[in-house]
Structure 1
Amino acid sequence: MKLKSLLVGLGLLAGASIAQAEDPLKVGFVYVGPVGDLGWSYEHDLGRKGLEAHFGDKVETTFVENVEEGADSERVITQLAKAGNDLIFTTSFGFMNPTIKVAKRFPKVTFEHATGYKRSKNVGTYVLRTYEGRYVSGVTAGMMTKTNKIGYIASFPIPEVIRDINTIYMAAKTVNPDVEMKIVWVNTWYDPGKETDAANALMDQGVDILVQHTDSPAPLIAAEKRGMRAFGQASDMSQFAPEAHIFSVRDNWAPYYISIADAVMKGTWKPQDYWGGFKEEILTIESINPNLPADVKAKISETYAAVKSGEIKPFTGPITDNKGNLVVKAGYTLNDVELAQVNWYVEGIEGEIPR
């Protein structure tokens, strides 16, 4: 009787081990905006869906949208960890410190934070080389502007945004030395009303080409109404402005999410600082408008190829800031650590960076 009980017990234990081995990897996502923003959070959610499509029932995903940066995000990240998620992606710069704090309390959970620079034993970071897309946009804007005024709708003064503003301006200057940059800071990632107001304020100042670092198609729609031109941000926004849309720079997150989930499942994950761009095809140029002049379309293709191959490295010196300081010496290219610390405007951009 004891032998039978022992065998049954062993059988139950074996069954439990098999069931445990077959449990799906639970993956949580935290979004700063709504999944319907048609920009940043929308593309992260497409990446989540791509993860599900790739692994099927081997993964189980969940997400929380519209999470404010700061204390609220710490609460949400904690809830996801307590809910048994094995892997959590936090997808906005302002989630950095909350992610690090929660990770300390849940050392068995793997965390990945987008656009930040703080890592630990169970926290990795990932970011897009958005400046590569901005370089192509800047060259295009410099060729197309008739007023020599390019407008930038900026979200928050973090290194990524400042870096991209500089890239647009430097790239535009390579084809148009007379170009000017006008900037409006809206202090939001997603607010169609504020984005529309900023777009109109810039166009009122003579801007005829708009670039945005916000997540709704509102600036494109505003440009369409006034006969100006603009670029899509984060996703393909061509449908919202058939005439105004120049092209979109799309964030394609699925390949990265698949690679990280695979590493966690195999037990090979290690914290790293990942940067992906044109070369990895995690950043792409989408829907180049057929109404563009032939020479502009040719230049877009040429510039894209040169950036992708590394022939063009946007942050190669000499580069001087707008206070006259040499910030990148001649022949030197900023490395990823230095790119993550850009906090200056290049020479020619007027004004101060908000603090």
Structure 2
Amino acid sequence: MKLTSLLTGAAVALGLAAGGALAQDKTKVGFVYVGPVGDGGWTYEHDQGRKAVVEEFGDAVETVYVENVAEGPDAERVITQMALQGADLIFTTSFGYMDPTINVAAKFPDVKFEHATGYKRADNVSTYSARFYEGRAVQGTIAGHMTESNIIGYIGSYPIPEVIRGINSAYIHAKKVNPDVEFKIVWAFTWFDPAKEADAAKVLIEQGADVILQHTDSTAPQAAAQAAGNVITFGQASDMAEYAPKPRVSSIIDNWAPYYIARTKAVIDGTWTSTDTWDGIGPGMVGIGEITDAVPAEVKAEALALKDAMASGEYHPFTGPLKKQDGSDFLAEGETADDGTLAGMNFYVEGIEGSIPE
């Protein structure tokens, strides 16, 4: 009886040990989000990417996430906690997580880190972003054709190169199709704050804007435009199709799923290396949401032709001749901006009024 008990106990112990080993064999992938997963924009699309990882790998992975993480010290605490809890791979999905990611990565050399939209790398830190400015070129083309007041409003989040590139690209392409167009920019100094975003939209509408573009994450500007009537908008980061066919007439869609799947597979396979990825419409990281019938057929055709030209590499949104806001030369006739210039862009192009906040 005692021998049987001993054998049974040993079998149970072995089973638990094996179960523990199997649990440890799972690749644990963490995601740090700046907004809520239900924001309908930026964070929502990152979380769709997380779900795609689960669908792709099933029981081979475990994913965890923390939402509404403020940029700064709080982010470093959350990232550290994920690493301590056994994450093998951590995606930090906002620009302001850059230094916290680098700091934590130095303490956990065996953990792989992926930082979205930043530029600092290490042996165990990769960076990735999307060429959102290609989508802005499409939006600018539609906006320039459709504005009747010739005033286009733009809600900026923070004055970082990514946002400045978007403003410039939208303006260049709006101006190409409508020389009389004027941009008014309101800085919200937030990625996600529906109240602030709604207020910014209302201010721009009061200033005469009948088109609103945004580089913030909530659907509040769409709702404000809908309430105002006769104002068109574009979905940001996600389709925001609940506001179609008007005010939302198209959108930029961030498609992170293929990247998240590929990088998770690299960790599972042991082939992960530190890289920098910056993809656009061509590789599918930037999508253009359905252009609705609120847009005239000929304008839709022009916008889609532009999209195709960028996807094939035939056209670059920053092609000269272009000058900077101060009148100095930026790009000569036919010259295109290199990635280094775009990555560090800290100036407006000629024709945009106002200054970039410090």
- Note whether the superposition's TM-score is higher than 0.5: yes
Does the 8 A contact of 1:220 with 1:241 survive in 2?
Answer: no
Task: Note if 1:340 corresponds to 2:343.
Answer: yes
How far, CA to CA, are the matches of 2:338 and 2:19 in structure 1? 46
Partner of 1:252: 255
Between 20-29 and 125-134, report the one with greater CA deviation. Answer: 20-29
Q: How does 1:34-49 map to 2 (within 5 A)?
A: 34-49=36-51
Q: How does 1:231-246 map to 2 (within 5 A)?
A: 231-246=234-249
Which runs of 5 or more structure 1 residues have no equivalent in the other structure? 1-7
1:20, distance to aligned residue in structure 2 (A):
5.5
How far, CA to CA, are the matches of 1:84 and 1:301 in structure 2? 45
Partner of 2:269: 266
One-letter amino acid matched to 2:201: A
How far, CA to CA, are the matches of 1:263 and 1:21 in structure 2? 19
How far, CA to CA, are the matches of 2:148 and 2:23 in structure 1? 62
How far, CA to CA, are the matches of 1:291 and 1:352 in structure 2? 33
Does the 8 A contact of 2:245 with 2:294 survive in 1?
Answer: no
Does the 8 A contact of 1:32 with 1:69 survive in 2?
Answer: yes
Q: How does 1:6-85 map to 2 (within 5 A)?
A: 19=21, 23-85=25-87
1:34, distance to aligned residue in structure 2 (A):
0.6
How far, CA to CA, are the matches of 2:330 and 2:104 in structure 1? 36
One-letter amino acid matched to 1:322: Q
Does the 8 A contact of 1:221 with 1:241 survive in 2?
Answer: no
Does the 8 A contact of 2:75 with 2:97 survive in 1?
Answer: yes
Local SS of the residue matching 1:234:
coil
Does the 8 A contact of 2:245 with 2:293 survive in 1?
Answer: no
Distance change in 2, residues 1:17/1:121 (3 Å): farther
How far, CA to CA, are the matches of 1:226 and 1:261 in structure 2? 44
How far, CA to CA, are the matches of 1:57 and 1:333 in structure 2? 46
1:330, distance to aligned residue in structure 2 (A):
3.7
Task: Note if 1:179 corresponds to 2:181.
Answer: yes
How far, CA to CA, are the matches of 2:22 and 2:107 in structure 1? 24
Partner of 2:309: 306
Does the 8 A contact of 2:129 with 2:279 survive in 1?
Answer: yes
Does the 8 A contact of 2:184 with 2:204 survive in 1?
Answer: yes
One-letter amino acid matched to 1:272: T
One-letter amino acid matched to 1:44: H
Q: How does 1:130-279 map to 2 (within 5 A)?
A: 130-227=132-229, 228-279=231-282
One-letter amino acid matched to 1:232: G
Q: Aligned pairs, how many?
A: 345
Which runs of 5 or more structure 2 residues have no equivalent in the other structure? 1-9
How far, CA to CA, are the matches of 2:294 and 2:70 in structure 1? 39
Task: Note if 1:331 corresponds to 2:334.
Answer: yes
Task: Note if 1:316 corresponds to 2:319.
Answer: yes
How far, CA to CA, are the matches of 2:262 and 2:286 in structure 1? 16
Does the 8 A contact of 1:210 with 1:231 survive in 2?
Answer: yes
One-letter amino acid matched to 2:134: E
1:79, distance to aligned residue in structure 2 (A):
0.4
How far, CA to CA, are the matches of 2:33 and 2:129 in structure 1? 15
One-letter amino acid matched to 1:149: I
Does the 8 A contact of 1:224 with 1:241 survive in 2?
Answer: no
Local SS of the residue matching 2:129:
strand
Does the 8 A contact of 2:28 with 2:88 survive in 1?
Answer: yes
How far, CA to CA, are the matches of 2:19 and 2:215 in structure 1? 48
Deviation per CA, 1:206-258, whole angstroms, max 9, x where unpaired?
11111000011111111111121010101111203542111111001100000
- Give 2:109's match in structure 1, choosing from 107, 110, 120: 107
Local SS of the residue matching 2:236:
strand
One-letter amino acid matched to 2:233: A
One-letter amino acid matched to 2:274: P
1:315, distance to aligned residue in structure 2 (A):
1.6
TM-score norm. by structure 2 comes to: 0.92
TM-score norm. by structure 1 comes to: 0.93
How far, CA to CA, are the matches of 2:314 and 2:207 in structure 1? 35
Partner of 1:3: none
State percent identity of aligned pairs. Answer: 58
Does the 8 A contact of 1:151 with 1:211 survive in 2?
Answer: yes
